[in-house]
């Protein structure tokens, strides 16, 4: 880094300066190397994985597979004890006050460095990111984490980024190496242990939205993920505002981070727009930024607090590069309280040790001098202890004890050791501890803890209750679009209905229609016809007009009808059909038609019915023995019928290709008899046609006649002169279809126009 | 392996039924028919149990004093009314049919009817959500088939009709067949997994 | 006769191969499978649901358990099992809906054993029959999505057009929808309305892609083998037919 | 249709149907409590009806009648499903649920077998045979379709079927140090397959849409008729 930009006045200073030569603001926060160091740990661990993941992301197809594999074993890992553990730990921790704090402070820095810089121009990116983090959260998804990278534009962004990242990282790890001090060693080890615990803790995003919403234009883009965040974020902020600096921190980080990262990584070409946006942000939150930034300079632990949490390496190392070489030791010392932050529950012991050795440290250099002085008055105000303590409620009392033990060595007054100083006392220390100093941590801590506890309970409570559908949805563009489409289509349908127009010519009959007509004409008088009603009540709108002409024709020919179905409501649909569309025929139940109910058991059931109809459906729907029993003759429609092939015609009226296929496959074989072959004809909904038609192909010939949808219903009506319902609906139907097609075409084109290069939530993807 | 008994039962029944399909022994076939008969009865009972669960769920919702409790109450009332009427008279009795014709059919076909709007809306958004050749071919086909299905008032376009039926009878049949064959393979594999006890959805 | 004989042989081959592949899965050279975007989404959705504390909704359709549609429901159940285990630490267990009695019971059993493994209590409310007919089931699932803070919907089962209602609800509730079905018109509707669609056979691969164990991977391999065999048979047969031999 | 010649029940039915239809349509413009109320009523009615049809259609004839029938053998046979069915009801309680595992296992086993058989005999074989028969030019000639036409169309369908099948192929070549990738021929074929799948979906979707639109037409004309019926007296007077 050649030079440093002043975070106050934004002017550029030579990087060896500690204060801005223009405004005198301190350029070099008294940073403790620990966090970056500890970052370094992760840089070699988690972060490395991440950058690797980015390269994968940019690798297109490649990482898909690797990710696949990673996922495969990852998933099994996930089942393994250890991982189940951390998850349950993660859960367990949520009972303590930490998580909200940890999460909250963690995240603001984390997004900006990846997103604040790149993704500012196009929202898709951060949306893309979120799942990824959630993904990392469960480590079986870690492999797949960055699949998001598929959107091309964000891809090459990432390539740049990961390029920059890796080299920064390298640079940084050297530095980290220099200051490998013994206590750091310990920390490093802990760091390594802590890895697994950290990953889950970093990912939670309650705070993502407050920067996210800055960037986001339309919140509906957030899709499902947006919801939880939006709902959690505000109250987390407000709650956390217990200490005003909490709020400040979480807001001001994105600013100074991007501040520094902007210039410090010149190799990556920053779009102008981004720069502007950032500067705007600055201006916007200036009055916040300045004080916080200062206070951050004044009290050492805070920056670590921020940086300590960062999950990705860049900011840390950019910071690292900025820092003038200062004796790491003292900084390390002061940073003592900091590392626990990232350390989850391990906080305890390290915290204590450091707590003891920390204060007595004699200030060595001017730098720390000032730091020490400033820190004294600072602490009381900036509540560092508060967050520190809130991180580890257990040892609230510890810090007070330690200093007194160290600074006021006891002199033994009696006994053989009289006169000796620094002798361990027989009684518990606690008894002698003088009342803690005025800036009693305890008090603040308990308050802060309380606030966080409340926050947590509130958040948990909130998760319990279902979330209302976001109001904006009511006036969202989608809503308008949907309503517009609805109105257009409905008007198109209503118009012909109102005017009663009958201009549209009914379709001319197709071969299938003609075949059915011939078959019915060829039926003997009082033919016995098996009629299968296999459609949902919903489809009455289509199936009744489609089938009414045919069934009408059958009834005109005086055929006996036996009604069956393979769906539970089929029999009722059948009854309705006869009583509404064919009312004029006034067919009488059991004498002219018999409703045998439905054939349960899917294909197997139908097969059984085909094998022996009387055994499977012995009774009518009303419970009368249909096939005769004990001398009593079978009902007329079924007289002389023992096999399926005894029917003169089998007609299946269905909306489902499944049902149609089942009839063809299971029943059709039983229709062929040495004596004669009973024809099977189908009346299908338009949606089933493509799947049924193959059976009507000359090469198949399993179905002897086929009518599909309103269209063929109309054609048949035209043949038999009973146009009825179809004629009534035909114009509206036709106009509706055309208008719908127009709406789809136009709307689609417009959307493409608007949507080019914009990821609408669920992403552009190529299935190739 | 948990619940060895149920696993054994599942596998045994499955294998017997399967053999009953493929082995030409009269005994096996009739055994298969009996077993499937029982399965059908059990499925019917399961439906009743499921409706018991429906009642339970909505009972709990309705006692919970919340906004949707009203809905759950309405559901329970209509459910018991229907059970009463259809149960007392037969399913095809005019009273039962009145319920069917004036409550169920209107609601159900209206639900299908609003799809005419919602599906058009979905297609309009599809191209923005997923802009790839797959979607383009898809939407193009939809449009062609739609306008090829029916005439626009007075104007009929036979070419469109022919194009539609060509699409429906040639490429669509090819694709559908491929999909169906693939699905068949998937079904067989899934069934086999259950019959070797690898998948045990029955609380095993 | 010959048909049933061939059928028996095919089934036998399926059994043997799947057993072999799942038993010797370790020794066999690793097989990788093509990426299916929907499953990547699903993994993230699961992670996110655990994270954000909203529910996963898995819907099993209204397929008849005694028919062919049972298989796709079974596929859905094995995915439900994986998802339930993955989210067992979440504050909100997944909710499963079905349109068929037996499926509702099976979904309860699956959730029950998943929660037994992770030592959580199972609530009957989490496995529901939302309706006894396809459309009423869809209507019930729709209100589940609207009312229960669902973050992601996984629809694996037998659906027809009615599934569009469920997807519309998911869209309006800003929740992700991943869906697959064995019903081909249903797939067409899903493709247009769901965020991610599993096409045809992909639906049955869910277990394998979610790491439900060697048997699932094995069955994918076997499917691939049989697919190639099928292609060969069709081509050969068609040619023979053309030559008038068959 | 004239309001005067409507029975009270019909009139009530018409009015009910009219309002229920409107309430369902209201969902287009946004989810609302009345719509919810409507679908809950619908769920209740549908469930009630399904339950009753099941009882009348399956349980009575197949379970109850044999149990009280004179045939001893049937009675014995009917006892098994009765027992299993009763066990099934334990699923309604969280504690006793275990008892129900047996009948569920039975159901799953039978279902799996039925699915396998159905897929093999119902789809795999017939569809394969149909694909093979596509080039049955003999039958084509007999049925009047020209052999050439049959050859081309059949070839197209065949091509679509095969490429679609290939599209679903899961395996990918995995070599050390190299990204896994599908074999080139698979990639090419699945591109074609993709096209056929897209067309198939398009046609089917259009079919579904046509069905939905037909329902819309029917509903709207119902509404119109209703309004006309209601207004008729005022118009005539």
pLDDT in tens, A289-303: 334 444 444 444 333
A307, A39 in Cβ contact below 8 A? yes
How far apart CA D132 and CA D128 sit, in angstroms, is: 6
Q: C-alpha distances in angstroms, C115 versus B78, C39, C44, C127?
A: 34, 23, 21, 12
Identify the band that residue D152 occupies on the pLDDT scale cut at 50, 70 and 90: confident
Instruction: Give the one of B50, B180, B196 whose C-beta lies nearest to C105's C-beta.
Output: B50
* Residue C197, domain CATH: 3.40.50
Return all residues near A690 (Cβ < 8 A) that are at least 6 apart: B168, B169, B172, B173, B176, D200, D203, D204, D207
Question: Rounded mean pLDDT of B69-94?
Answer: 90
Q: Looking at the predicted structure, is the pLDDT value of residue C54 above 90?
A: no
Q: What share of chain C is helix, strand, coil (3-state, %, to 5)?
A: 60, 15, 25
Q: Which residue has the higher pLDDT, C139 or A17?
A: C139
Identify the band that residue A371 occupies on the pLDDT scale cut at 50, 70 and 90: very low
Does residue A605 sit at the C interface (CB-CB below 8 Å)? yes
- Residue C189 belongs to what domain range? 36-220
Number of structural domains chain C divides into:
1
Strand duo A680-684 + A560-565: pairing: unpaired
What digits encode the pLDDT tens for the residues D66-118?
888 777 788 888 888 899 899 888 888 877 878 888 888 998 898 888 888 88
Does residue D56 sit at the A interface (CB-CB below 8 Å)? yes
What digits encode the pLDDT tens for the residues A240-265?
334 333 333 333 344 444 444 434 33
In this prediction, residue A291 carries a pLDDT of 42
C32:D174 CB<8 A: yes
Residue A619: strand pairing partners: A625
The verdict on A549 and A660 lying in the same domain is yes
The verdict on A653 and A756 lying in the same domain is no
The verdict on A707 and A752 lying in the same domain is no
Identify the band that residue A25 occupies on the pLDDT scale cut at 50, 70 and 90: low
The verdict on A575 and A495 lying in the same domain is no
- Identify whether C210 is part of a domain: yes
The chain A residue lying nearest D137, using CA atoms, is: A699
Interface of C with A in 198-217 (CB under 8 A): 210-211
Q: Which residue has the higher pLDDT, A334 or A569?
A: A569
Instruction: Give the one of D41, D48, D102 whose C-beta lies nearest to B86's C-beta.
Output: D48
B112:D36 CB<8 A: no
The verdict on A668 and A741 lying in the same domain is no
Instruction: Give the one of C184, C207, C212 whose C-beta lies nearest to B179's C-beta.
Output: C184
Residue A708: strand pairing partners: A684
In this prediction, residue A189 carries a pLDDT of 55
- Residue A739 belongs to what domain range? 487-499+734-768
C185:D208 CB<8 A: yes
Contact list in B for residue C18 (CB cut-off 8 A) is 189, 192-193, 196, 198
Burial of C152 (C-beta count, 10 Å sphere; 0-12/13-18/19+):
buried
The verdict on A494 and A512 lying in the same domain is no
Task: Count chain B–chain C contacts defined by CB atoms under 8 A.
Answer: 197
Contact list in C for residue D92 (CB cut-off 8 A) is 124
Rounded to 5 degrees, φ, ψ at B66 are: -135, 180
Q: Which two tokens stand for residue A450?
A: 């309380």
Q: Looking at the predicted structure, is the pLDDT value of residue A350 above 50?
A: no
* Chain C neighbours, 3+ Cβ pairs < 8 A: A, B, D
- Identify whether A655 is part of a domain: yes
Does residue D154 sit at the A interface (CB-CB below 8 Å)? yes
Instruction: Give the one of C106, C139, C202 whose C-beta lies nearest to D43's C-beta.
Output: C139
A568:D213 CB<8 A: no
Contact list in A for residue C68 (CB cut-off 8 A) is 602-603, 658, 662
The verdict on A632 and A696 lying in the same domain is yes
- Which range (A311-320, A728-737, D187-196) has the least confidence? A311-320
In this prediction, residue D41 carries a pLDDT of 93
Q: Looking at the predicted structure, is the pLDDT value of residue D216 above 80?
A: yes
In this prediction, residue A154 carries a pLDDT of 45
Average pLDDT, chain D: 85
How far apart CA C74 and CA D113 sit, in angstroms, is: 12
Strand duo D171-172 + C32-33: pairing: antiparallel
Does residue C245 sit at the D interface (CB-CB below 8 Å)? no
In this prediction, residue A427 carries a pLDDT of 54
In this prediction, residue A264 carries a pLDDT of 37
In this prediction, residue D204 carries a pLDDT of 92
Q: How near does any CA of chain C get to the CA of B188, in Å?
A: 8
B31, B16 in Cβ contact below 8 A? yes
- Identify whether A12 is part of a domain: no
How far apart CA C113 and CA C81 sit, in angstroms, is: 8
What digits encode the pLDDT tens for the residues A546-577?
888 888 888 888 888 899 998 888 889 998 88
Q: How near does any CA of chain B get to the CA of A265, in Å?
A: 34
C164:B118 CB<8 A: yes
- Identify whether A632 is part of a domain: yes
Q: How near does any CA of chain B get to the CA of A474, in Å?
A: 16
What digits encode the pLDDT tens for the residues A60-76?
333 333 333 333 343 34
- Identify whether A227 is part of a domain: no
- Identify whether A480 is part of a domain: no
Question: Rounded mean pLDDT of B29-51?
Answer: 88
Residue C198: strand pairing partners: C180
Contact list in D for residue A697 (CB cut-off 8 A) is 130
B183:C204 CB<8 A: yes
In this prediction, residue A5 carries a pLDDT of 64
SS (H, E, C) A208-236: HHHHHHHHCCCHHHHHHHHHHHHHHHHHH
C131:D46 CB<8 A: yes
Interface of D with B in 73-132 (CB under 8 A): 77, 80-81, 84-85, 88-89, 91-92, 97-98, 100-121, 123-124, 127-128, 130-131
Task: Count chain C–chain D contacts defined by CB atoms under 8 A.
Answer: 189
Place of tokens 């590392």: A339
- Which range (A173-177, A315-319, B179-183, C181-185) has the least confidence? A315-319
Q: How near does any CA of chain D get to the CA of A87, in Å?
A: 27
Considering A163-172, B10-19, B124-133, D226-235, the range whose residues carry the highest mean pLDDT is: B10-19
Instruction: Give the one of B90, B111, B173 whose C-beta lies nearest to A694's C-beta.
Output: B173
Q: How near does any CA of chain C get to the CA of A465, in Å?
A: 8
Identify the band that residue A468 occupies on the pLDDT scale cut at 50, 70 and 90: low
Contact list in B for residue D89 (CB cut-off 8 A) is 45, 49, 52
How far apart CA C86 and CA C88 sit, in angstroms, is: 6
D46-82 burial, b for 16+ CB within 10 Å, e for fewer?
Answer: bbbbbbbbbbbbbbebbbebbeeeeeeeeeebbeebb
A600:B108 CB<8 A: no
The verdict on A609 and A754 lying in the same domain is no
Helix B133-149 to helix A724-755 angle (10° resolution) is: 150
In this prediction, residue A151 carries a pLDDT of 36
In this prediction, residue A31 carries a pLDDT of 43
The chain A residue lying nearest C160, using CA atoms, is: A656
Considering A325-334, A363-372, C24-33, D210-219, the range whose residues carry the highest mean pLDDT is: D210-219
Q: How many residues does chain C have?
A: 246
Contact list in C for residue D211 (CB cut-off 8 A) is 161
Identify the band that residue A466 occupies on the pLDDT scale cut at 50, 70 and 90: low
The verdict on A716 and A765 lying in the same domain is no
D107:C66 CB<8 A: yes
Number of structural domains chain A divides into:
2
How far apart CA D180 and CA B33 sit, in angstroms, is: 48
* Residue A528, domain CATH: 3.40.50
Return all residues near D184 (Cβ < 8 A) that are at least 6 apart: none
Contact list in D for residue C244 (CB cut-off 8 A) is 138
D40, C147 in Cβ contact below 8 A? no
How far apart CA C97 and CA D111 sit, in angstroms, is: 19
- Identify whether C235 is part of a domain: no
Question: Rounded mean pLDDT of D39-59?
Answer: 91
- Which range (A93-97, B180-184, C208-212) has the least confidence? A93-97
B176:C184 CB<8 A: yes
Return all residues near A126 (Cβ < 8 A) that are at least 6 apart: A111, A115, A119, A208, A212, A215
In this prediction, residue A512 carries a pLDDT of 84
- Identify whether A714 is part of a domain: yes
In A516-627 the beta strands, taken as DSSP E runs, fall at 528-534, 560-565, 593-598
Q: Looking at the predicted structure, is the pLDDT value of residue C2 above 70?
A: yes
State percent of chain B over pLDDT 70. Answer: 96
Classify A338 as helix, strand or coil: coil
How far apart CA A47 and CA A176 sit, in angstroms, is: 15
Q: How near does any CA of chain D get to the CA of A757, in Å?
A: 23
The verdict on A523 and A604 lying in the same domain is yes
Return all residues near D64 (Cβ < 8 A) that are at least 6 apart: none
Q: How near does any CA of chain A get to the CA of B123, in Å?
A: 6
Does residue D120 sit at the A interface (CB-CB below 8 Å)? no
Q: Looking at the predicted structure, is the pLDDT value of residue A627 above 50?
A: yes
In this prediction, residue B2 carries a pLDDT of 53
D125:C3 CB<8 A: yes
Element containing residue A462 per DSSP (H, E): helix A441-464
B192:C15 CB<8 A: yes
- Identify whether A706 is part of a domain: yes
Q: C-alpha distances in angstroms, A211 versus A229, A264, A280?
A: 12, 22, 13
The verdict on A526 and A655 lying in the same domain is yes
How far apart CA A368 and CA A376 sit, in angstroms, is: 12
**Predicted TM-score (pTM) of this structure:** 0.69
Q: Looking at the predicted structure, is the pLDDT value of residue C231 above 90?
A: yes
Identify the band that residue D25 occupies on the pLDDT scale cut at 50, 70 and 90: very high
ipTM of the complex: 0.91
In this prediction, residue A444 carries a pLDDT of 54
Q: How near does any CA of chain A get to the CA of B85, in Å?
A: 14
In this prediction, residue A651 carries a pLDDT of 92
Using alpha carbons only, what angle is made at residue C83 by residues C80 and C86, rounded to the nearest 5 degrees? 150
How far apart CA B48 and CA B79 sit, in angstroms, is: 12
- Which range (A114-128, A355-369, A538-552, C60-74) has the least confidence? A114-128
Contact list in D for residue A767 (CB cut-off 8 A) is 194
Average pLDDT, chain A: 59
The verdict on A520 and A596 lying in the same domain is yes
């Amino acid at each position: 880094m050649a030079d440093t930009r002043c975070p106050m006045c934004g002017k550029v200073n030579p990087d060896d300066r500690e204060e801005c030569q223009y405004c005198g603001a301190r350029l070099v926060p008294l940073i403790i190397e620990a966090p970056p160091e500890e970052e370094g740990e992760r840089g070699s661990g988690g972060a490395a994985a991440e950058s690797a993941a980015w390269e994968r992301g940019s690798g297109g197809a490649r990482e898909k597979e690797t990710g696949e594999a990673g996922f495969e074993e990852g998933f099994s890992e996930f089942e393994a004890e250890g991982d189940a553990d951390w998850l349950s730990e993660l859960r367990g921790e949520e009972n303590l006050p930490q998580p909200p704090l940890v999460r909250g402070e963690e995240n603001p820095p984390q997004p900006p460095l990846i997103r604040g810089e790149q993704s500012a121009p196009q929202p898709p990116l951060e949306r893309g990111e979120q799942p990824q983090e959630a993904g990392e959260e469960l480590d079986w998804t870690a492999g797949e984490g960055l699949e998001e990278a598929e959107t091309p534009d964000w891809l090459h962004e990432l390539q740049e980024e990961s390029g920059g990242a890796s080299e920064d990282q390298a640079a940084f790890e050297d530095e980290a190496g220099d200051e490998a001090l013994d206590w750091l060693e310990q920390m490093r080890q802990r760091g390594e242990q802590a890895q697994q615990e950290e990953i889950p803790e970093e990912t939670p995003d309650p705070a993502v939205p407050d920067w996210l919403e800055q960037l986001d234009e339309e919140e509906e883009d957030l899709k499902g993920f947006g919801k939880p965040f939006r709902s959690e974020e505000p109250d987390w902020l407000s709650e956390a505002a217990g200490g005003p600096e909490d709020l400040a921190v979480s807001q001001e980080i994105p600013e100074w981070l991007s501040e520094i990262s902007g210039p410090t990584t010149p190799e990556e070409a920053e779009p102008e727009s981004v720069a502007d946006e950032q500067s705007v942000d600055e201006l916007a939150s200036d009055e916040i930024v300045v004080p916080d930034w200062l206070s951050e300079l004044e009290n050492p632990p805070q920056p670590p607090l921020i940086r300590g949490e960062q999950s990705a390496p860049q900011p840390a190392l950019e910071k690292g590069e900025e820092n003038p070489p200062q004796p790491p030791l003292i900084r390390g010392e002061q940073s003592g309280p900091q590392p626990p932050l990232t350390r989850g529950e391990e906080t305890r012991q390290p915290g204590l040790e450091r707590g003891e050795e920390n204060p007595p440290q004699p200030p060595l250099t001017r730098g720390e001098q000032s730091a020490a002085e400033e820190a004294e008055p600072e602490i009381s105000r900036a509540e560092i202890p508060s967050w520190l303590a809130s991180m580890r409620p257990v040892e609230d009392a510890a810090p007070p004890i330690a200093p007194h033990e160290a600074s006021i060595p006891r002199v033994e007054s009696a006994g053989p050791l009289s006169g000796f100083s620094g002798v361990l006392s027989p009684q518990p220390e606690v008894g002698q501890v003088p009342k803690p100093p005025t800036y009693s941590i305890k008090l603040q801590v308990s308050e802060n803890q309380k606030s966080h506890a409340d926050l947590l309970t509130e958040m948990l409570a909130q998760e319990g209750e279902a979330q209302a559908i976001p109001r904006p949805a009511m006036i969202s563009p989608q809503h308008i679009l949907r309503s517009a489409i609805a109105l257009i289509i409905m008007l198109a349908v209503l118009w012909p209905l109102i005017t009663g127009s009958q201009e549209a010519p009914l379709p001319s009959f197709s071969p299938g229609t003609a075949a059915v007509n011939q078959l019915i004409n060829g039926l003997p008088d009082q033919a016995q016809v098996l009629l299968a009603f296999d459609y949902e009540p919903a489809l009455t709108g289509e199936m009744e007009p489609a089938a009414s002409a045919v069934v009408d024709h059958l009834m005109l020919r005086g055929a006996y009808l036996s009604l069956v179905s393979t769906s539970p409501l089929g029999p009722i649909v059948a009854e309705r059909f006869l009583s509404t569309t064919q009312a004029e025929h006034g067919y009488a139940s059991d004498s002219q038609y018999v409703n045998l109910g439905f054939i349960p058991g899917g294909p197997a059931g139908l097969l059984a019915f085909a094998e022996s109809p009387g055994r499977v459906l012995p009774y009518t729907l009303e419970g009368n023995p249909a096939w005769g029993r004990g001398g009593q003759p079978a009902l007329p429609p079924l007289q002389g019928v023992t096999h399926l092939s005894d029917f003169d015609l089998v007609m299946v009226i269905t909306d489902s290709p499944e049902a149609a296929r089942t009839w063809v496959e299971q029943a059709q074989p039983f229709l062929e008899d040495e004596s004669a072959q009973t024809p099977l004809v189908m009346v299908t909904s338009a949606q089933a046609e493509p799947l049924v038609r193959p059976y009507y192909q000359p090469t198949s010939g399993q179905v002897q006649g086929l009518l599909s949808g309103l269209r063929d219903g109309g054609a048949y009506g035209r043949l038999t002169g009973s146009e009825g319902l179809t004629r009534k609906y035909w114009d509206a139907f036709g106009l509706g279809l055309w208008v719908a097609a127009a709406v789809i075409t136009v709307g689609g084109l417009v959307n493409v126009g608007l949507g080019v290069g914009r990821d609408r939530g669920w992403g552009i993807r190529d299935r190739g | 392996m948990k619940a060895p008994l149920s696993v054994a039962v599942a596998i045994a029944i499955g294998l017997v039924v399967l053999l009953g399909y493929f082995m030409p022994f009269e005994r096996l076939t009739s055994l298969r028919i009996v077993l499937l008969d029982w399965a059908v009865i059990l499925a019917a009972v399961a439906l009743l149990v499921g409706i018991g669960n429906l009642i339970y769920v909505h009972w709990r919702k309705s006692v919970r004093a919340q906004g949707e409790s009203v809905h759950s109450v309405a559901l329970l009332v209509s459910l018991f009314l229907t059970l009463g009427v259809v149960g007392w008279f037969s399913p095809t009795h005019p009273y039962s049919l009145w319920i069917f014709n004036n409550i169920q059919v209107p609601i159900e076909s209206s639900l299908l009817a609003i799809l005419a709007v919602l599906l058009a809306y979905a297609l309009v958004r599809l191209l923005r959500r997923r802009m790839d050749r797959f979607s383009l071919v898809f939407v193009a086909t939809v449009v062609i088939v739609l306008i090829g299905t029916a005439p626009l008032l007075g104007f009929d376009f036979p070419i469109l009709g022919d194009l539609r039926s060509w699409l429906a009878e040639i490429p669509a049949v090819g694709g559908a067949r491929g999909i169906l064959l693939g699905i068949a393979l998937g079904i067989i594999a899934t069934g086999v997994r259950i019959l070797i006890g690898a998948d045990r959805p029955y609380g095993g | 006769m010959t048909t049933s004989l061939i059928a028996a042989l095919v089934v036998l081959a399926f059994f043997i191969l799947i057993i072999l592949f799942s038993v010797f899965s370790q020794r066999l050279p690793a097989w990788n499978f093509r990426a299916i975007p929907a499953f990547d989404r699903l993994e993230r959705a699961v992670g996110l649901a655990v994270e954000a504390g909203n529910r996963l909704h898995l819907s099993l359709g209204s397929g008849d358990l005694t028919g062919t549609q049972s298989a796709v429901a079974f596929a859905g159940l094995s995915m439900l099992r994986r998802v339930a285990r993955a989210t067992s630490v979440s504050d909100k267990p997944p909710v499963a809906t079905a349109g068929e009695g037996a499926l509702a019971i099976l979904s309860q059993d699956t959730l029950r054993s998943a929660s037994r493994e992770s030592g959580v209590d199972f609530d009957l409310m989490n496995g529901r029959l939302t309706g006894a007919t396809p459309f009423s089931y869809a209507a019930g699932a729709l209100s589940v999505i609207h009312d229960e803070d669902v973050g992601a919907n996984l629809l694996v089962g037998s659906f027809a057009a009615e599934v569009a209602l469920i997807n519309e609800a998911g869209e309006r509730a800003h929740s992700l929808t991943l869906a697959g079905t064995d019903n081909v018109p249903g797939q067409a509707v899903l493709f247009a309305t769901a965020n991610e669609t599993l096409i045809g056979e992909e639906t049955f691969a869910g277990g394998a892609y979610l790491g439900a164990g060697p048997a699932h991977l094995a069955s994918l391999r076997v499917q691939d083998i049989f697919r190639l065999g099928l292609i060969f048979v069709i081509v050969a047969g068609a040619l023979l037919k053309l030559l008038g031999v068959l | 249709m004239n309001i005067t010649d409507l029975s009270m029940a019909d009139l009530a039915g018409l009015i009910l149907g009219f309002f229920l239809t409107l309430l369902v349509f209201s969902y287009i413009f946004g989810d609302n409590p009345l719509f919810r109320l409507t679908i809950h009523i619908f769920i209740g009615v549908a469930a009630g009806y399904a339950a009753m049809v099941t009882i009348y259609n399956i349980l009575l004839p197949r379970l109850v009648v044999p149990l009280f029938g004179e045939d001893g053998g049937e009675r014995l046979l009917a006892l098994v499903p009765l027992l299993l069915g009763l066990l099934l009801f334990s699923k309604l309680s969280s504690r006793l649920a275990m008892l129900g595992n047996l009948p569920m296992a039975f159901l799953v086993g039978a279902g799996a077998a039925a699915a396998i058989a159905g897929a093999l005999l119902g789809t795999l074989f017939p569809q394969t045979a149909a694909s093979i028969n596509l080039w049955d030019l003999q039958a084509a000639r007999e049925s009047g379709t020209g052999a050439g036409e049959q050859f081309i169309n059949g070839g197209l369908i065949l091509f679509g079927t095969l490429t679609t099948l290939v599209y679903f192929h899961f395996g990918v070549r995995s070599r050390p140090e190299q990204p896994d990738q599908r074999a080139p021929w698979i990639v090419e074929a699945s591109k074609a397959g993709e096209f056929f799948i897209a067309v198939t979906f398009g046609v089917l979707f259009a079919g579904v849409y046509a069905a939905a639109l037909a329902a819309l037409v029917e509903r709207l004309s119902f509404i119109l008729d209703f309004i006309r019926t209601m207004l008729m007296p005022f118009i005539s007077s």
